[in-house]
Structure 1
Amino acid sequence: MAVTWNNEYYMALEGRDLQANAMAVDNSGTYVLLAGRRYIAIRNLDEHLEVVQKFPRQSKYDVGAAEWNPTLHKRELCVISSNQRLEVLTWRSQELIQTHSLRAHTRVITDLNWHRFDPNILASCSVDTFIHIWDLRDARRPSLSLSAIAEASQVRWNKISSNLLATAHDGDIKIWDQRKGTAPVQYVAAHLSKIHGLDWNPNTETQLATSSQDNTVKFFDMTNPRRAEYVLTTNAPVWRARFTPFGNGLVTVVVPQLRRGENSLLLWNTANRSTPMHTFIGHRDVVLEFEWRKQMPGSSDFQLITWSKDQTLLVWKIEPFLQKLCGHEPDEPREEVAVNTESSEIVKIRKKTLPKIQPLQQEFSLLNVHIPNLEVTAMDSATRTCTVFANVNSFMVNLQVSFPNAYPHGVPPVFQIMPESTVNDTIGTQLLQTLNHLAQQRVSKNRTCLESCLRQMVTTLEQLSTDSENDRIFDSSYAEPNNVFGGYNDAYIPFPRTSGAKFCSVGILVCFGRAPHARRFSGKLEATTPRALSALETIFSKRSSDHVTVSNYYYHKQRFRVKHSKSKPSKAVVHVYDVSGLLLANKQLAEEYILDGDVATICKHNAATAAVVGRWDLVQAWTLAELIACTQSKNEEWYNHPFGNQLSEALISHYASHFDIQMAAMLSCIFGKNQVNYSHQSSKKSILHTGNGGSPYHTIPPTEVPPDDWVFPSLKTMRSTSLDNLHLNENGKCLPKKNGTVSLYEYFKLSYAEILHRWGLLYSRAEVLKYMCGPPESHKGVEFLTDCKNCLKPAKHCTCSNCKKFSLNCIICHVSVRGSANCCIVCGHGGHTKHLKQWFEKRDVCPSGCGCRCLIETASIFTA
């Protein structure tokens, strides 16, 4: 679609298939990046058409944060965080290529930030309490790691000083100087609740703004951080607060998880913090991210880019009058020189700024006229009226809305039901009461309410129509405003499922659904499940003794039927079906298959078993397996033989990709693959394992020597009855989601063992489990523990796991020990190994003065 400004903004992208939750704008303001679990998308904002380039992501982890390089020198670089990893990408020639993969964090990454001046440096923070500073010129490991002890949620480089950066830890802030080691240079106890956002002032080196769960934005001067310079108080937890590139402005967004229905951005003047200067209304869901676009040459307007959970990208025009509200004086309109062709005179043309648009006219232009069961018949900004017509089931309502001059600043519109409507006084009173309450709630915050009221009007009429059909019309004391408005907020919560089906791996299908009378009783239009939980709010009155539950929604109205028919309501039925004929796993095969004996004999027997049940594809597979076994026993170069390793691997992968877990597991038992060093040692003989419980042709490494990348799948943490933990590549080949082919084959065996257990074939299950390989137990030798000097609890490491403080102080230098240490096992005193070595080279008595001869006493214990 073509780009057209809708008064204040235009929609640059509507990408519901992207499911992106991270957004970033590049240094030039030309490209915007949207990243999610499925795709990374690039949109050129200078293009007039909505052209988006999408690049698929093969990852099971979502994107936590994204950011372009802010420097002009390397503005083609961008970085995204995915779980514990940072991916650095290069945007060049309309292609997005990964250039670096940065791995050092052990827990999920919470935030990242490029250095403002050095294009090669970026910082990341994580739940693992570390802040890593990366240099892309040597990306193998972080160039500097800062330990914060507590979880870090935000990291931001100073926008003026090149060495300072700030991090947020719950409600505290730490300021770091990368030139001064690994300790913070300042510590600020900023909030009592969690800090969601940090932002340095682009014009003042020492000023930092923090947004928090406690409904405040605080501004700190790092030269005197004990108290905040000033506080901006809002009526909701603040998700982000960022300075504007002009004047004293600040843009805030509320916490999306806690404020359903609050989708606006607020523009503040930090010099006048009593009320916001402007509200940006346009998104239909919470705003996830926003950034400023670089000002275009020759333009006095700034642009704000916002990305919302409604999967729309909006570009907002910040006109000169909004800049003036934030204390910024835009450049005066320029005079352009033109030549009059008739008189050859030079004429000066002065550009004029556009007048401010009236709020009501703007609201009319933004109104969504495609609301189901409702038609907007007239909108007149001159007379300040709007007329709509709603047709819901048996109700037809013609509603006129009049807007006072002070609307929406604390004054609600006036709603009037016109005479041609077909609703009685009771229904009309309840409808107007609901609309007036919702409108008053909106305008009390200086927000418009027309579209919200129209949507609530349709919802209320649908609910009242349902009760009217069942002879349960609301009385005037029922429709209390608080209940109705609560239902409006619950419109974002989906209704629970009332029907469904689930397959089991052993050929069982379980189905459940609503009782037939519950579907028929309400009529044709109410036969479907409600869209949201708000339906419950209008079914039950406060005076009713019934609980507001999903079950009561379907059985509450049965009283009317029971009263006349004197019959008891029937209960919902759960149906269980045998669908074993639709699945590839076969119980008869499981009963007849064998795994004990020579591999060739096993294959012949299993091929005959497959022929009995008519599985000729399995007969061919077992015949090939027999040839592989014969080749393996005779050919020393089995790995490179055509009937060797590659064919066995292809067989297993084929059946796994077709979700035949039974055949994949059986082949894995007799042809387990050892992937360790095969790529480098293909000419060597295969490792033959003749240990307990294994076939002589079993090539899985012995239990005593597991591969380095061993990952044993846990039955408790996976759905082993399906192949949900696997995925297919472009060629249809089954790949493990975790490292190591050995782990993949072990997964097949464990999944098949569970199927056998459900069938009750415990002997066959035990045979399969004999082929399982497990990692060796870790060596348990003599271990010495020290008691923490602070909490007196045993500590294995330099940091106590209980109180999180350093557990040992050096008895010589009295500094906390972080590296190599030694302690006397008699008196318990110790410290740095280097200091103790220097001490005992000249003395033999403990440096603490306890009188213990540490070296002699310790030696006597070990020689005793």
Structure 2
Amino acid sequence: MAVTWNNEYYIALEGRDLQANAMAVDNSGTYVLLAGRRYIAIRNLDEELEVVQKFPRQSKYDVGAAEWNPTNHKRELCVISSNQRLEVLTWRSQELIQAHSLRAHTRVITDLNWHRSDPNILASCSVDTFIHIWDLRDARRPSLSLSAIAEASQVRWNKISSHLLATAHDGDIKIWDQRKGTAPVQYVAAHLSKIHGLDWNPNVETQLATSSQDNTVKFFDMTNPRRAEYVLTTNAPVWRARFTPFGNGLVTVVVPQLRRGENSLLLWNTANRSTPMHTFVGHRDVVLEFEWRKQSPGSTDFQLITWSKDQTLLVWKIEPFLQKLCGHEPDETKEDVVINSESPEAIKLKKKTSPKIQPLQQEFSLLNVHIPNLEVTAMDPVTRTCTVYANVNSFSVNLQVSFPNAYPHGVPPVFQILKESTLNDSVGAQLLQTLNHLAQQRVSKNRTCLESCLRQMVTTLEQLSADSENDRIFDPSYTEPSNVFGGYNDAYIPFPRTSGAKFCSVGILVCFGRAPHTRRFSGKLETTTPRALSALETIFSKRSSDHVTVSSYYYQKPRFRIKHAKNPSKAIVHVYDVSGLLLTNRQLAEEYILDGDTATICKHNAATAAVAGRWDLVQAWTLAELIASSIDKDEHWFNHPFGSQLSEALIAHYASRSDIQMAAMLSCIFGKNQIKYSRQSSKKTLFISANDASSYHTIPPTEISTEGWVLASLKPMRSTSLDNLRLNGHEKFPCRKKEFHLYEYFKLSYAEVLHRWGLLYNRAEVLKFRCRPPESHKGVEFSTECKNCAKSTKHCTCSTCKKFSLNCIICHLSVRGSANCCMVCGHGGHTKHLKQWFEKRDVCPSGCGCRCLTETASLFTL
């Protein structure tokens, strides 16, 4: 794109007539949306000319927030908030069309945020203290409403965990889990002043940054939120603080309402919070909004989009040298190409702000070179490298240490063992792991680490050398305890698996196996897995000193290693995506519906299958629509060839092909019958239909069968409860229970698949069509006999005489709460009083002579 760069930015738009106060960048980084009271404008950043499409918007309210859908699946959707309403818009074919208008808040909406992975989920918060979670598949009302008591100023979905979201309320934070009801799972007292912004770390699931009126940005770890991990202090109240898509960077901007002349954005390195790494200077008024543009393929530069009160849209180029200041190392080859195309002003700016070599040179000068068993062979602050040689017992190591430009501000050095070293791969890996761990701990606190790492290097080599000396690989005098396995008794115990594969219901295949190497035991190679535990004793019977356990068989210990197998390869667990081999389809699951009349449902689902390219399902849904039409036309539809026999054949066909998705959907569709009334034995028979049944199934639908539909014999009903619905087994069309149980199994299996996909709304819809009533209680129940009317009762109040059924044998008052009674003599009372009595005595307090504790215990031991 040929644009005129002014040092580090170019002006993408000057729209003084827009009067926009909200800005958003789409998922692809192509379009920028600007929204205000008069217009909604869209600018294509890939076009060289400043072409802006304006769409008039007549409203007396300003736009509070705007955001594009972050998923690729529905990136054409965007949402804006205006007073108490959310407007969901679709950008397609250069037209902006309203798709939904969401109304539930009673006061001004303060913030909104799309779900990071589910394109249909949207969260909004308001001054009315509510946080609403919307599902665009049913936009009539929020799918979940969270009450926070205090007004919410920000709402943000976690960028890694799909179920967590955070909200800001004055100076406090609440963490919600949409799976765990309407109460917050965590509460954080973060600031004493108002919180203006929240942002989850895109790389750390539990880290949350908060920007506040108290001039600070705090970073909290939600696993221990009592105090902030660290605090970044600025010179003005912070409006927004957002993580960069590279390194450890953070961008902050001041509160727009202050307008103190501070119009700049600040770039920080969170590992070095003493001063900003860079200041973006260019706007003539306060910045209202800023977002990152998706990086174009092959580019080393990131771009930051900003919109200001001066009604200018600026695009900032974040060059590689700025990325390095934030601890990010871009591709050096691509960086050279970019540097050659820079303007002289940009090169001067880079030289002015690039890291200096003095801090590293100072560390080299202060290094203590008199470390036992170690020699520093070279130190070069220009190339930023250091080479050392260590000789400990049988180990000699040449180590090169390379220091990145951002070292030691959160970026550790790189350790490399050179070829002249006499270390095997295992010892070398342990040494590098120890050095990297220590270096990371030091630089996380902005501390140098060279001398500490060199001393640790010598200590680690001494430990590894001692372990090697004590290794008993070839010691003939080494003996082990005798075999603990029971020989013949273990012949029927199968050996644990050494390999296997498991399918998940959502298209995941997990495979594991033994490490691809053989073992040499007792002079022979072992390449097969034993059939039973007793086989371990046979394998080592030739040498009395040999001993093996199941763990040592799986994980070879050092004493069993041989020279040509010093570093056996590790066993690996493979996870494959095999969704393309299965008939269940997530796209279909998201778009299928079950609400409405049967013909409409079938027509919609046929169109959904056509979009997914499943023409076989299009034919099936079209046939299902014909069945539904015949139901409407023919009163005695169960005798019609397009009636029950064809619907049952369709379900059986897809069940035989293991297409559980289609079998379950058809089981739900044809489990809804027309309401027909006929006289039989002076009773009414009821059929539940799609047109008349409640979508929430206040009256459960009847059970389906392959010979007809089960008829429900009803008594005059006082309420629509399950107890009033009784299945009559003597009607004309009996239910074949085998098929019915299969249909229920299809629904439950498909509901499990939906749950694993996270489609909880769709799962709930399927479960509403379950036909089986809950099973009656089959356990042991206890009841008391009322002392007044001698009638049996299960409650503290008698259902016959309405008096209390039990008096305490100790205090002689009526028992209303917890009670205990003797199973032999029947005397009892308050649990507390009986406990105090039997702590000192073992005879019944009534004087009947019964030893209640002993007698009752003997009943349960028979």
The TM-score, its normalising length taken from structure 1, stands at 0.41
Give the TM-score normalised by the residue count of structure 2.
Answer: 0.41
